[in-house]
Structure 1
Amino acid sequence: MLPTSPSSDSLASTRSSTSPGTPSSVDNYQTISTTSTVTTRRRKLRRPTFEPRTSRLDPETMTKNQDPFRGFHTLFWIVMGAYGLITFDEEWTRVGKAFGGTLFSSFSQDAIILAISDFGLVFSTGFAFVLVKMFAKGWMRYMVSGMVVQHCLQLVFLLTAIAWTIWRDWPWVQSGFFTLHCITMLMKVHSYIAYNGELSEKKIQLKKIESAYAQMKRNDIQIMDDNDMDASAVAGNTDNDTSNDNHIDDLPTNDPVQEQEVYRRRHHRLASEAAAALLQDPAANPSGFDASMLASEVDELKNELRCQNGELWPANVTVANFVDYLLVPSLIYELQYPRTTRIRPMYVFEKSVATLGTFTLLYLTTEHYIYPVVFDPTISPMRAVVLLMIPFMMNYLMIFYIIFECICNAFAEISRFADRSFYEDWWNCVGFDEWARKWNKPVHHFLLRHVYDSSIESFHLSKKNAAFATFFLSSCVHELVMMVVTRKVRLYLFALQMFQLPLIWAGNIKLIRERPRLANAVFWLGMFCGPPLLGVAYCYA
């Protein structure tokens, strides 16, 4: 997924408001949002936002929003039901059974070991919690040793899963599922470690600044104390000793208002300069800084470290919080997520039934329309591409619906995760850059924060180079999945992914850009041709 460059329009702080698609029922949703912008000493970087939102294709959403196309949604599923019955009948007529063919044997092979392996995969993500706990206890600094340990453990996690998949010699179904789930878990633990590691460094900064601020207050009070004693000595020439006793009651230590007035009278310096100088040299004389600037820095750091319950980091580093994060359908970790107030069992049941029904259609399409083509040596590659266009597009739409509308929403309901915006209207895209942002928002958010923004902050790349690096990494990961699934190194998917770059450039040509319908038609043409071309390339190689 190729994230877009941060723009100035997205730099406003997040408001505690809901989007137009948010249900108004207070029983189901709380209006909670998270901060989406981070200010650095060089620039402001955009961060993904989480707000209470529902998914666009959820029937409940379309009914509440009075969507004029909701009838087509109903018609689509009636047509899909009829399509399933026709395919079932044709498959029964052709081979005498609808289930139990080649694809079914692939699904059932080594199924128990696959389930145990998948459980072990999820359980092994606990190394992330142990590592973050070490940061919280102060046993290890995230910078730089923690980062080295983090990436070494993540590499071992990925290579072990791949080696296990190859050693078990699973067919493509099990291999694809296990590899994709491994990469998903890898992204989740990377975000968990990286975000908590950054917070651990900010906690160290906070302690240093608070210490300097406390020292500055003591210095200011001492200065005022000395000035008051000098003034009292002068006044003692004309007044009796009782004047000193009366003045002692007015010292700043006993009057916070007077104490604050002392700070306001001091020479002000820019907060950024004061904080930067202090963090570069903690042993510097803090009396050279303005206290109000440091106080503002303390407040800002505390806001960034504040958890859902109001306590500061590491109050969130608990087993319960980590398990909750594993259930939340988000690939980026946050201290606070918008939450619903209850779980609706019927909603989870509906999504489960929809998953089962859609998966049945997916199975019938693959068994009846795809397998007979790709395994028939008499069919030429070009004819195979043409024959597979419609079946592959059907499978693409059903896989999208299963993952982002059914599974993500079901886990969101179980974890009371209120932001159900896992995709946007990608079907209206006029270019592949827009599609990359809209069709898979969880991955887009991960790449935006941990690849795009990180490459700008850490390696000082330009926005253009950071976008290219993000796209390149995404292409490599896609090809890695195909290498594990097919046991071949062909780089077809990598090449096709990278070919989107010139397509994105072509989409910005004035002739196409000024004609959205033409641009959308070009986009859909690419979507129709790409998947069957890949399928034929890997199967015929």
Structure 2
Amino acid sequence: MDGYHAISTISTVKTKKRKVRRPTFEPRSSRLDPEMMAKNEDPFRGFHTLFWIVMGAYGLITFDQEWTRVGKAFGGTLFSSFSQDAIILAISDFGLVLSTGVAFLLIKVISKGWMRYRVAGMVVQHCVQVLFLLFAIAWTIWRDWPWVQSGFFTLHAITMLMKIHSYIAYNGELSEKLIQLNKSEAAYAQIKKDDLKTTDDDIDDSRSESSSQADQTYGRNTADSPTSDNEQDASRLHHRLASEAAAALLQDTIPSDSATVNASQLAAEIEDLRSDLKCQNGELWPANVTVANFFDYLIVPSLIYELQYPRTSRIRPLYVFEKSVATLGTFTLLYLTTEHYIYPVVFDPTISPLRALVLLLIPFMMNYLMIFYIIFECICNAFAELSCFADRNFYEDWWNCVSFDEWARKWNKPVHHFLLRHVYDSSIESFHLSKSNAAFATFFLSSCVHELVMMVVTRKVRLYLFVLQMFQLPLIWMGNNKTIRETPRLANALFWMGMFMGPPLLGVAYCYA
């Protein structure tokens, strides 16, 4: 019997109570994917088709109005803005992605045993992350890019920062688990070796003692008798007495309950550690620390690293083409809306802030929906297809939300998963915060990061976005009111009112400041 099966057998003596981990990823389809809506016979698939027909008509009307007004639909202020320094932006973004390889090199060093993740590896990790973000921000400001390039590069830098943090943190913890596994296996082997040695020694001693006792008993039984003619009966009597004495003495060689429990606990711990360290190919960590695995993680549309992801069997080129066309078409509508309905309002000094807020309600909401669709339905699904990533649950039905905390959980699942694992859970485990304090810390960090993006984009320190995000906390408290909870239609209406007011209010605040 090999060691692993021996461990499994012994662990059944006393099962160690373990916390069952909820699987983060599983094969799922995107809710707004036309192919899946048709396959599942979604009752709202007709409205989905109607929506895009209306959006196409909206684009044609806007195109005609823009052509009539300035004689061209493209080439306005926005076009000249985001086409500026485009080649340098592409090269910079490529260099940004290449620089994430530092995370792989650090984990490679740790996997070789040249550095422990705790504490030296963690210090290096956070130094690398700070320098990574500072360099990206400094480069953006030094290039003096317009708001489109600045926003894109900063957001991509933060996205890559979250990826490398998860990669280093997860693999670093696995390196510590491997050390613990080696210690546990050595301790387990020593326990079994000691038990075996003790048993062998006791058996030898018991045989010697039982033999002497049998000789004494046999001697007493035959001392007064003449030499017997039936020596076979005498021999059988001798062996029977020796066996009975040995059986009595062997009772002392059975392992104690405490020794059995310790061995069982170690076996259960080893089984848990092996399960945590198991890679996609069945080998143990660090078999996953390869360039190919790191590159695969970079293109997988997930911000948290896992040893195993659910996968599809093949790449569908037609599906990738469909998402690419959808990205281009939706971005065209986004451009037309911004150029035709937003720029003329925010850059007109004769329009009052209040009137600008009213005029921007619909355009900002349309832009918000289109940006959401481009990122989470088009880009994420395209990269998921290219990497054979089977979990397409990048968002849930956030449009049905009745509170902003529900919206925060549903509208951006990749970021939610990252914050849940590396901020919320980590703050509870490392700093022993309560759940409410951990939730506040997570919300506060998210608000700071959002405001950082606005500071880089606008080159201003205004804290408007930070204040509005933190203002969601009392809104969440209001949403948990019993009266509102019992009337979900009212709660959903209040949610949508907040969504309508937030983006244009921010746009007016930053532009008019």
The answer to whether TM tops 0.5 is yes
2:360 match: secondary structure: helix
The Cα shift of 1:290 comes to 2.0
The Cα shift of 1:234 comes to 2.2
CA distance in 2, matches of 1:355, 1:475: 28
User: Which of 124, 138, 143 lines up with 1:168 in the alignment?
Assistant: 143
The answer as to whether partners of 1:266 and 1:290 remain within 8 angstroms in 2 is no
Return closer, same or farther for 1:74/1:216 CA change in 2, 3 Å cut-off.
Answer: same
Q: Which has the higher helix share?
A: 2
In structure 2, what residue type is equivalent to 1:504? I
* Equivalent in the alignment of 1:440: 412
2:284 match: secondary structure: coil
The Cα shift of 1:44 comes to 4.7
CA distance in 1, matches of 2:426, 2:128: 20
2:62 match: secondary structure: helix
The Cα shift of 1:173 comes to 0.2
**1:533 lines up with 2:505 in the alignment:** yes
CA distance in 1, matches of 2:21, 2:337: 41
In structure 2, what residue type is equivalent to 1:212? A
Return closer, same or farther for 1:326/1:412 CA change in 2, 3 Å cut-off.
Answer: same
* Equivalent in the alignment of 1:273: none
**1:468 lines up with 2:440 in the alignment:** yes
The Cα shift of 1:235 comes to 3.1
The answer as to whether partners of 1:483 and 1:489 remain within 8 angstroms in 2 is yes
* Equivalent in the alignment of 1:115: 90
**1:203 lines up with 2:178 in the alignment:** yes
User: Which of 83, 99, 104 lines up with 2:79 in the alignment?
Assistant: 104
CA distance in 1, matches of 2:19, 2:465: 35
* Equivalent in the alignment of 2:485: 513
Matches within 5 A, 1:381-420: 381-420=353-392
CA distance in 2, matches of 1:523, 1:236: 89
CA distance in 1, matches of 2:436, 2:189: 44
**1:95 lines up with 2:67 in the alignment:** no
In structure 2, what residue type is equivalent to 1:99? F
What CA deviation, in whole Å up to 9, does each residue of 1:393-446 have, x standing for no partner?
000000000000000000000000000000000000000000000000000000
CA distance in 2, matches of 1:444, 1:43: 25
* Equivalent in the alignment of 1:370: 342
CA distance in 2, matches of 1:536, 1:466: 33
The Cα shift of 1:154 comes to 0.3
The answer as to whether partners of 1:48 and 1:445 remain within 8 angstroms in 2 is no
Q: Which runs of 5+ in 1 are unaligned?
A: 1-40, 248-260, 270-286
1:416 match: secondary structure: coil
User: Which of 60, 71, 76 lines up with 2:35 in the alignment?
Assistant: 60
* Equivalent in the alignment of 1:352: 324
The Cα shift of 1:49 comes to 1.1
* Equivalent in the alignment of 1:496: 468
CA distance in 2, matches of 1:466, 1:143: 23
TM-score, normalisation: structure 1: 0.84
In structure 2, what residue type is equivalent to 1:403? I
The answer as to whether partners of 1:191 and 1:331 remain within 8 angstroms in 2 is yes
Q: Which runs of 5+ in 2 are unaligned?
A: 1-15, 216-234, 244-250
The Cα shift of 1:302 comes to 0.3
The answer as to whether partners of 2:364 and 2:503 remain within 8 angstroms in 1 is yes
**Moved beyond 4 Å, runs of 4+:** 41-48
CA distance in 2, matches of 1:224, 1:57: 67
User: Which of 265, 272, 283 lines up with 1:300 in the alignment?
Assistant: 272
User: Which of 127, 139, 161 lines up with 1:186 in the alignment?
Assistant: 161
CA distance in 2, matches of 1:351, 1:390: 25
CA distance in 1, matches of 2:22, 2:156: 25
1:236 match: secondary structure: helix
**Larger CA Rg, structure 1 vs 2:** 2
CA distance in 2, matches of 1:412, 1:516: 34
The Cα shift of 1:362 comes to 0.2
CA distance in 2, matches of 1:370, 1:104: 14
CA distance in 1, matches of 2:41, 2:110: 50
1:317 match: secondary structure: coil
TM-score, normalisation: structure 2: 0.88
* Equivalent in the alignment of 2:231: none
The answer as to whether partners of 2:110 and 2:175 remain within 8 angstroms in 1 is yes
1:309 match: secondary structure: coil
The answer as to whether partners of 1:267 and 1:290 remain within 8 angstroms in 2 is no
What CA deviation, in whole Å up to 9, does each residue of 1:235-259 have, x standing for no partner?
333489x98xxx9xxxxxxxxxxxx
What CA deviation, in whole Å up to 9, does each residue of 1:202-247 have, x standing for no partner?
000001111111111110001101110122102333489x98xxx9
The Cα shift of 1:60 comes to 1.2
CA distance in 1, matches of 2:354, 2:431: 44
2:382 match: secondary structure: helix
CA distance in 2, matches of 1:421, 1:161: 30
* Equivalent in the alignment of 2:403: 431
What CA deviation, in whole Å up to 9, does each residue of 1:244-282 have, x standing for no partner?
xxx9xxxxxxxxxxxxx999x64445xxxxxxxxxxxxx
The answer as to whether partners of 1:412 and 1:420 remain within 8 angstroms in 2 is yes
What CA deviation, in whole Å up to 9, does each residue of 1:15-49 have, x standing for no partner?
xxxxxxxxxxxxxxxxxxxxxxxxxx999586561
The Cα shift of 1:288 comes to 9.1
CA distance in 1, matches of 2:252, 2:269: 19
In structure 2, what residue type is equivalent to 1:218? K
Matches within 5 A, 1:298-337: 298-337=270-309
1:158 match: secondary structure: helix
CA distance in 1, matches of 2:313, 2:18: 37
The Cα shift of 1:485 comes to 0.2
CA distance in 2, matches of 1:417, 1:268: 48
User: Which of 421, 434, 451 lines up with 1:479 in the alignment?
Assistant: 451
User: Which of 67, 76, 82 lines up with 2:57 in the alignment?
Assistant: 82
Matches within 5 A, 1:338-349: 338-349=310-321
Return closer, same or farther for 1:362/1:442 CA change in 2, 3 Å cut-off.
Answer: same
CA distance in 1, matches of 2:166, 2:135: 20
What CA deviation, in whole Å up to 9, does each residue of 1:138-174 have, x standing for no partner?
1111111111110000000000000000000000000
The answer as to whether partners of 1:220 and 1:262 remain within 8 angstroms in 2 is no
In structure 1, what residue type is equivalent to 2:87? I
The answer as to whether partners of 2:195 and 2:255 remain within 8 angstroms in 1 is no
What CA deviation, in whole Å up to 9, does each residue of 1:95-120 have, x standing for no partner?
11000000000111000000000000
In structure 2, what residue type is equivalent to 1:493? L
CA distance in 2, matches of 1:421, 1:515: 28
The answer as to whether partners of 2:29 and 2:391 remain within 8 angstroms in 1 is yes
What CA deviation, in whole Å up to 9, does each residue of 1:379-403 have, x standing for no partner?
0001001000000000000000000
**1:219 lines up with 2:219 in the alignment:** no
CA distance in 2, matches of 1:156, 1:262: 64
2:389 match: secondary structure: coil
CA distance in 1, matches of 2:262, 2:21: 30
Return closer, same or farther for 1:516/1:212 CA change in 2, 3 Å cut-off.
Answer: same
What CA deviation, in whole Å up to 9, does each residue of 1:472-523 have, x standing for no partner?
0000000000000000000000000000000000011112111000000000
The answer as to whether partners of 1:132 and 1:196 remain within 8 angstroms in 2 is yes
